[in-house]
Amino acid sequence: MTYRFLLALLGGLLLMQQPVVAQPNLAQRTGTTVAETGVAGYRFATLRLSSADGERHYRLRVALPTGAAPVSGHPVAWLLDGNAALMDVGAATLVELARRPAAPVIVFVAHDNDLRIDGAARAFDYTPRRPGGDEAQRDPLGSRRNGGADAFLELITRQAMPQVAALAPVDPARQALWGHSYGGVFVLHVLFTRPQAFAEYGAADPSLWWGDGQLSREEAAAARWSAKTRLRLWLGAGAGERKLAAGRDAGSVEIMQRARHSVPPDAAPALAARLRQRGLAVELLDLPGLSHGQTLGASLPPFLFGLSEGE
């Protein structure tokens, strides 16, 4: 039984002891993380970037292995919802990653505040623009706006990637992108529209219902990807989704519930099967007993260890 499996299993067991919460607490703050306390085998650097229009600001915490780099350079893991990911990637995970010959550089991509999850900002940055005018870019939750994914991808590929490469020797052919929920929408959007941007993709419980079929249309129009491109999909049990309505107005709840029911329960396995038929290497992984929110932290260790092993 591998260390990675044991770690993922332990993480799952610990998570199952917590109260089941379907949606993230948007008021939760990050507090102190390993970026502040430090951890053996990694050092942290901070990059700050702004969107092209100057309206959105980002803080990237970059975990840099202190050991020797592989001949080809370190693989790089780009983790969306970087504050939440930083809270959920513990010191033990980083210590073990640092021991690997291909220890990854880890980029925790966050909005420049101390919120664990910035709901409004991620709703814009992680979702592609849909056909139509501004009214078509309304998020299912009403006041939030959608449609900034392509500009956000440009920020990562044109600004952030060169700056991270200046901090450590990296392997440009081993760039990996991970996202959860709306972050999973972004991951799949990039896979379908700019597959060459990353070699490995990881989506934890992606919100396939978002956009009234937008991702399905992008999937159908997607070009073929490289033989080395791979996708991992993590799925939770959906436990606790009945609590979706808590704290929401009736109109938003109705819109969200209609959107969620617009795709069948087996939408993700069906997606994986279709992509395999088209030649993409897809791994579908269940996280039994975990709610949608809990799949965020549970999917991170296997994603990072898989990248370090060069699977």
Is residue 199 over pLDDT 80? yes
Residues recognised as catalytic: 181, 241, 292
State the total domains in the chain: 1
**CA separation (Å) from 169 to 66, 70, 77, 126, 300?**
11, 9, 14, 28, 23
Q: Domain of 260? A: 3-18+45-309
User: How much is the pLDDT for 25?
Assistant: 61
Say if 27 falls within a structural domain: no
Q: Locate tokens 């990996």: which residue?
A: 176
- Please indicate, yes or no, if residue 25 is contained in any of the structural domains: no
Q: Look at residue 16 and tell me whether its pLDDT is greater than 80.
A: no
Residue 39 belongs to some domain of the structure: no
Which residue in this structure is represented by tokens 């073990």? 96
User: What pLDDT band is residue 242 in, cutting at 50, 70 and 90?
Assistant: very low
Residues in contact with 201: Cβ distance below 8 Å, sequence separation at least 6, in sequence order: 176, 177, 178, 187, 188, 190, 191, 229, 230, 231, 232
In a domain, residue 172? The reply is: yes
Q: Is residue 184 part of a domain?
A: yes
In a domain, residue 163? The reply is: yes
Cα 94 to Cα 42, 61, 74, 163, 202: the distances in Å are 7, 14, 14, 22, 19
Specify the pairing of strand 57-65 against strand 42-50: antiparallel
The values of phi and psi at residue 274, to 5°, are: -65, -40
- pLDDT tens figures, 74-119: 999 999 999 999 999 999 999 999 999 999 999 999 999 999 999 9
Number of neighbouring beta carbons within 10 Å of residue 74:
24
* 3 state SS for 261-277: CCCCCCHHHHHHHHHHH
Residue 33 maps to a domain = no
Considering only 18-32, 107-121, 141-155, 227-241, which range has the smallest mean pLDDT?
Answer: 18-32
- pLDDT of 53-86, one tens digit each? 999 999 999 999 999 999 999 999 999 999 999 9
The CA radius of gyration of the chain, in Å to the nearest whole number, is: 18
Give the Å distances, CA to CA, from 151 to 127, 148, 154, 204.
10, 6, 5, 22
How deeply is 266 buried, as exposed, middle or buried, from its count of CB atoms within 10 A (0-12, 13-18, 19+)?
Answer: exposed
Task: Report the chain's mean pLDDT, rounded to a whole number.
Answer: 86
Measured CA to CA, the distance from residue 110 to residue 62 in angstroms comes to 11
Answer for the pair 263, 209: CB distance below 8 angstroms, yes or no.
yes
pTM of the entire structure? 0.88
In this structure, what CATH number is given to the domain that contains residue 133? 3.40.50.1820
